[in-house]
Structure 1
Amino acid sequence: MFIIALSPIIWLVVALSILKISSHKACPIALVFASSAALFIYHMPLVNAATAMLEGIALACWPILLVIIAAIFTYNLSIHTKSMDIIKKMLTSVSTDRRIIVLLISWGFGAFLEGMAGFGTAIAIPASMLVGIGINPMLAALVCLIANSVPTAYGSIGIPLVTLGQITDIAPLQLAKYVSLQLAPLNLLCPFLIVIATGQSIRALKGVFFLTFIAGISFLIPEMLVSFFMGPELAVVAASICTMTAIIICAKTLKVTDDTYRMAINKVPVPFKKGLLACLPFILIFIFLLTTSKLIPAINQPLNLIKTSVLIYSGADASPYTFTWLATPGVLILLASFIGGRVQSASFGEMFLVLAKTIISLRNTIITIITIIATAKIMGYSGMTHEIAETAVNTTGIFYPAIAPFIGSVGTFITGSATSSSVLFGKLQTASASAIYANASWIAAANATGSCAGKMISPQNIAIATAAIASNGRESELLKSAAKYYVSFIILMGCIVYFGQIFIH
C-alpha cells in the first residue's frame, strides 16, 4: 500500500529527473495515478474524488495562480515601460568592486524579485545582469542560485507559506514565524558564501567582511519582524529593500578599494525622480499590502468580510472553501501594477496586452499548478498522504524532524517550486508530526525551509540559470557546483529543525 500511495510522487521523480519530461506534462499523469489509486485501492467514492479535484482547482486558481500571474505581470510591465533598464543602471552605479556588485544584485535585488515575482525571475534577471557587466557566466549563475535559496519560502508575495497554511490549516502568520527562526542562521551565512564564491576563496572576505555581515543582518532582522507581526507576504520584500539600502550605504561610506576585484563599470547617474518613477509599481505593491495587512485592522477587517464560502468537497471531513475577493495579494498587485504602469505612460490597451501575453507565457505553469494541487487534494482526502506519513515515521521515529527539511527539498527539486512542494508534502509533514507528538507548525515550516535548499539544485532552476547566461548544455556542471552548497544547507537545516523543536515544543 505504501508504494501505491507513493506512486504519484515516484512518477514525478522519475518523469522530471530521469525521463526529463516537462512538469506540465508529468503532473497531469501524476493526477491520473493519484485518482486511480484513490478510486480502486483506497475505495474513495467517485463523487468525493471529483469534488476533491475541484477543491484543488479552486485553490490553484484563487489565490495561488492569481498571485503568480499578477507578480509576473508586474515584472513584464516594468520591462515593457523600460523601467527595469533604469533599475539596472541604479544598481550598477553603486560600486566598482566586484564582490559588492555581486552581493547587491544577486542577494539584494534577487531577493526583491523573488519576493515580488519568483518563479525563476530572481535567478534569470540577476544572472543576466551580472554577465552583462562582465562577471563570469557560470559564476553569475552559481551565486544567483545560492542567493535565491533562502528567500524562496517567501516568494511571490509569500505564496508558498500562504498555500502551506491552506493545505495544513495552520495560520500563515505562525508558519512565517517559524520559518524565519529556522532560516535565521542561513540568512546570515548566505552573503558570506556569495562573496567567497565570487572571489573563489575565503580571502575574498578581506575588506568587505563588515559589509557582508551587514548584508546578512539587515536582511535577517526585517524578515523576522515582518514574519512575526504581519505574516509571510512582505517578509522578503521588506528584507530585500533593507539589505539593498544597507549595502549601498556601506559601499558609499566604507570606500572599499581592492584592485583585485575592481571592475570597469561605466557609472550612469539616475535622477531621483526618474528612479522613483521606475520603482513606482513595486512601491505601490508594498504600500497596498502593508495598509491592508492585519497591522491596520480598520482596513483589513472590512476587506476580509467581502468573501464567499462554498462547500466543494463532498466527503465526511469537508469544510467550506472561502474565496476572499479583495483582501488577497493578487488583486492588490494587479491594482498597483495598473496604477504604476499608467503613471509611467503605458495605456490600458498596452497593459492588458502585456497581461494577456503574461497569461499565455504561463500556460504550462498554470497546468502544472492546477494538476499538482488537485493531486495533493486527492492524496490527502483518500488517505494516501497519511499512509506515506505513517511509513516515514515508523522508519525514522523521533528523528523524523531531522529529515523534514530534506523532504521539503525533494518537493522543490521535483517541481522547481516551493509552492508545489508545500502542496505535495504539507499534509505529510503535519501527519508525521502528529504521529510523534511534535509541534505540527514547526515541522510544516521545515517543509518550506527545506524548499529553499531544494531550489538550488532543481533541474528547472538550473535550466533557467543556464539559459539566462546563454550556457545551455552546461547544466550538469552548474548542478555539481550547486550540490555542494545544497548538502551543507540541508544538513544544517536538519540540525536546526531537530534541536529547535526542543525549545518550540
Structure 2
Amino acid sequence: MYVQELEPVADSLGLSALVATLPLLTVLVLLGAVRVQAHRAGLIGLAVAVAVAWLAYGMPLGQTASGAAQGAVFGLFPILWIVVNALWVYRMTVRTRHFDILRRSFGRLSDDPRIQALVIAFCFGALLEALAGFGAPVAICSVMLVALGFDPVRAAVVALVANTAPVAFGAMGTPVVTLAQVTGIPLDTVATVVGRQTPLLALVVPLLLVVLVDGRRGLRETWVPAAACGFAFAAAQFAASNYVSAQLADIGAALAGAGALVAVPGARRPAAEPVRAAVLTGARSEDLDHDDPRADVVRAYAPYALIVAIFSVAQIPPVKDFLAEATRTFDWPFLNVGDPTGKPVGGNVFSLPIVSTGGTLVLLAGVGTAVVLGVHARVAVREWVATVHELRFAILTVTSVLGLAYVMNLSGQAATIGHFVADAGAGLAFLSPVLGWFGVAVSGSDTSANALFGSLQVTAAQQSGLSPELLAAANSSGGVLGKMISPQNLTIACAAVGLAGKEGDLLRKVLPWSLGLLLVMCLIVVGQSTPVLGWMLP
C-alpha cells in the first residue's frame, strides 16, 4: 500500500504545499498567460502532476499511472458520454432543419425582445445546459437572439450572463457528479447543498437580463414576468435537486421557468415600437415570418420531450433500482492507496453505472429522436461519429484534467494544499466560492474546477472545522459565476455571432456582473457557515 504523506518535502507543510501546487499553476499559467490551447495545457499539467507524485511524494510510478488512467476513464464515462450523446441529438435537429422550426416557434411566443431574451437565453439556455453544457447554450442562444434582430454584442452578453444559474447541474448533473466522485461525499448530499445556493442566483439573473436588454425601462416594465420566471426556476431547481434527482434539476427548472413566463399575462403583450426599435438594432432573419405546419413544430419539440420523459421514468423507484442493477463496482487495477492514517481511500474502488448514467438515457432519447425526425440509421451513426470528431479536443481536455485531479487526490497533493489553506480559518468560507470561480474562469468548466479543487475544499474544511459539504458545494456554486468570463466561453460567444477577436470587449461588459454576483455568493456561503443562514442547510 502507498500511504499518503502530508509533508514529504523537507518535513515542511508550506514547502510541500508549494510543490503540490505546481500542476495547478502549470495549467493556470498556460491557459491564462501563455494562451496555450486547453487540451495541451491539460496534458502538460497531467505530466507535471505525475512527476510531483512520483518524485516528491514517492508514489510508485505504476500506481501514479493507474490513478491517472482512472481519472481519464471517469472523464470518458460518464462525463463525455453525456456530452457526446446530447450534442448528437442537437446535430440531428439541425440536420433535419427542425432546429430552425424551434427557433421560429420561440420567436412567436412574444414579440417583446425582453421576454424573448428570457425565453431563449435563460429558459431554453438552461435546458441546453441541462442536456449538453460545455459552451453549447452560449453558442446556440446567441445565434437565436441575433436571428431575432438583437445586436450581436448584446446577444452575446445576454447569453453569457444567462448561462450561470443552471451550470452546477449542467450536462445531466455532471459537475455535481464529478464533485461527489472526487470528494467522496454522496451525490445526494452535494446536490442538496448546491440546490440551496444556486437557486438564489436564479431569482436575480432574469431581472439582470431585462436590464441588459433594455436598461431601467426593461426592469420597470417587465419585472413581473422576469421575477415570476426566476422564482419558478429557483423553486423547481431546489425541489428537484433536494427531493428528486440532480440530473433532472435543470430540466425541471427550465420548463418551470418557461411555463411561469408564458403564464404571466404581461409576457404575451405586444411590445411598444420604441422598445423594439431601441433593442433590435441588428439584422433580423428573414425566415422568421415562415409559418410551420403544426406537425413539424411538434416534431421540433419532440427530442427534448423524449429526454424529459425518459429521465422522469428512470427516477421511478422500481425502474431506478432495475437500471442500477447493471452498475459494476470493482477494485481498480494496480492501485492500493491509503490516507495519512493508513486507511484505504475510496479511489481504490471504481463504479461503472452502465445503464443508469445520464449518457445512456440520452442515447436512448437520441434513438427515439432519429425515429421521430425520420433520420436514417446510417445518417444517425454518421452524425454521432461527427460529434465525437467535433469534440476531440474537448475530450482530450476533460480526460487530461480529470487524470490530473485523480493523481493529485490519490498521491496526497490535494490533501497537503487543503491542510495549508485551512490556516485561513473563518475566512475560508468567503474564499471558497472564489476558488471555484477562479477555476472555472480559467478552465471554462465547472466540472473541471470541481475535479481540481473539490477534494482540496473538503480537506481544508475538515481542518478548519467548517462543513465539508458546504465548502464543496460552494466550489461549484461560485464556479458557475466564472463561466461568463472564461476565455473558452468568450471565444465561443464571439465566434457564434461573428465577433471574432472581440473577446476583450465582451469581457469588459460581463466582468462587473461576474464579480458582483460572486460577492453575493460569497456572502451567502459565509452566512450559511454561521447561525445567520445555517438554517438553510439540511
TM-score by length of 2: 0.90
Matches within 5 A, 1:314-333: 314-316=336-338, 317-318=344-345, 319-333=348-362
Partners in 1 of 2:301 and 2:147 — Cα distance? Answer: 21
Q: Which of 285, 291, 303 does residue 281 from structure 1 map onto?
A: 303
Q: Which of 172, 175, 179 does residue 194 from structure 2 map onto?
A: 179
**Segment of structure 1 superposing worse, 79-88 or 307-316:** 307-316
Partners in 2 of 1:92 and 1:54 — Cα distance? Answer: 46
Matches within 5 A, 1:347-426: 347-394=376-423, 396-426=424-454
Partners in 2 of 1:127 and 1:337 — Cα distance? Answer: 24
- CA drift of 1:237 comes to 1.1
Question: Is the CA contact (8 Å cut-off) linking 1:172 and 1:231 kept in structure 2?
Answer: no
Q: Secondary structure at the match of 2:239?
A: helix
Match of 1:157 in 2: 172
Match of 2:65 in 1: 50
Q: Which of 305, 311, 323 does residue 325 from structure 2 map onto?
A: 305
Q: Which of 452, 472, 484 does residue 480 from structure 2 map onto?
A: 452
Match of 1:485 in 2: 513
Match of 2:233 in 1: 219
CA RMSD of aligned residues (A): 1.6
Question: Is structure 2 residue 90 aligned with structure 1 residue 61?
Answer: no
Match of 1:292 in 2: 314
Q: Which amino acid aligns with 1:219?
A: F
- CA drift of 1:251 comes to 5.6
Partners in 1 of 2:55 and 2:155 — Cα distance? Answer: 50
* Structure-2 change in CA distance of 1:398 and 1:186 (3 Å): same
Question: Is the CA contact (8 Å cut-off) linking 1:418 and 1:451 kept in structure 2?
Answer: yes
Q: Deviation per CA, 1:412-442, whole angstroms, max 9, x where unpaired?
A: 1121111111111110111111111221111
Question: Is the CA contact (8 Å cut-off) linking 2:225 and 2:267 kept in structure 1?
Answer: no
* Structure-2 change in CA distance of 1:213 and 1:444 (3 Å): same
Partners in 1 of 2:292 and 2:480 — Cα distance? Answer: 34
Match of 2:468 in 1: 440
Question: Is structure 2 residue 78 aligned with structure 1 residue 76?
Answer: no
Q: Which amino acid aligns with 2:109?
A: V
* Structure-2 change in CA distance of 1:251 and 1:358 (3 Å): farther
Partners in 2 of 1:471 and 1:116 — Cα distance? Answer: 26
Match of 2:136 in 1: 121
Q: Secondary structure at the match of 1:321?
A: strand
- CA drift of 1:160 comes to 0.7
Q: Secondary structure at the match of 1:330?
A: helix
Match of 2:12 in 1: none
Partners in 2 of 1:457 and 1:225 — Cα distance? Answer: 29
Q: Unpaired runs of 5+ in structure 2? A: 1-15, 339-343
**Segment of structure 1 superposing worse, 439-448 or 239-248:** 239-248
Question: Is the CA contact (8 Å cut-off) linking 1:409 and 1:450 kept in structure 2?
Answer: yes
Question: Is structure 2 residue 117 aligned with structure 1 residue 94?
Answer: no
**Segment of structure 1 superposing worse, 446-455 or 163-172:** 163-172
Match of 1:472 in 2: 500
Match of 2:11 in 1: none
Q: How many residues align?
A: 501
Question: Is the CA contact (8 Å cut-off) linking 1:51 and 1:314 kept in structure 2?
Answer: no
**Segment of structure 1 superposing worse, 421-430 or 303-312:** 303-312
Partners in 2 of 1:369 and 1:383 — Cα distance? Answer: 21
Partners in 1 of 2:472 and 2:235 — Cα distance? Answer: 22
Q: Which amino acid aligns with 2:522?
A: G
Partners in 1 of 2:266 and 2:370 — Cα distance? Answer: 31
Partners in 2 of 1:408 and 1:18 — Cα distance? Answer: 19
- CA drift of 1:501 comes to 2.1
- CA drift of 1:271 comes to 4.3
- CA drift of 1:163 comes to 1.1
Matches within 5 A, 1:336-347: 336-347=365-376
Match of 1:28 in 2: 43
Q: Secondary structure at the match of 1:207?
A: helix
Partners in 2 of 1:129 and 1:251 — Cα distance? Answer: 24
Match of 1:18 in 2: 33
Question: Is structure 2 residue 66 aligned with structure 1 residue 37?
Answer: no
- CA drift of 1:256 comes to 4.7
Q: Secondary structure at the match of 2:21?
A: helix
Question: Is the CA contact (8 Å cut-off) linking 2:115 and 2:267 kept in structure 1?
Answer: no
Partners in 2 of 1:245 and 1:274 — Cα distance? Answer: 21
Match of 2:4 in 1: none
Q: Deviation per CA, 1:6-61, whole angstroms, max 9, x where unpaired?
A: 11111111111111101111100000110101111111112221221121122112
Q: Deviation per CA, 1:166-188, whole angstroms, max 9, x where unpaired?
A: 11112222222211211232111
Q: Secondary structure at the match of 2:529?
A: helix
Partners in 1 of 2:503 and 2:267 — Cα distance? Answer: 39
Q: Secondary structure at the match of 2:264?
A: helix
Question: Is structure 2 residue 31 aligned with structure 1 residue 3?
Answer: no
Match of 1:496 in 2: 524
- CA drift of 1:268 comes to 4.6
Q: Which amino acid aligns with 2:421?
A: A
Q: Secondary structure at the match of 1:150?
A: coil
Partners in 1 of 2:195 and 2:269 — Cα distance? Answer: 32
Q: Secondary structure at the match of 1:279?
A: helix
Q: Which amino acid aligns with 1:303?
A: L
Match of 1:192 in 2: 207
* Structure-2 change in CA distance of 1:226 and 1:269 (3 Å): farther
Partners in 1 of 2:268 and 2:504 — Cα distance? Answer: 39
Match of 2:243 in 1: 229
Q: Deviation per CA, 1:343-395, whole angstroms, max 9, x where unpaired?
A: 2110110000000000011111111111111111110111111111122121x
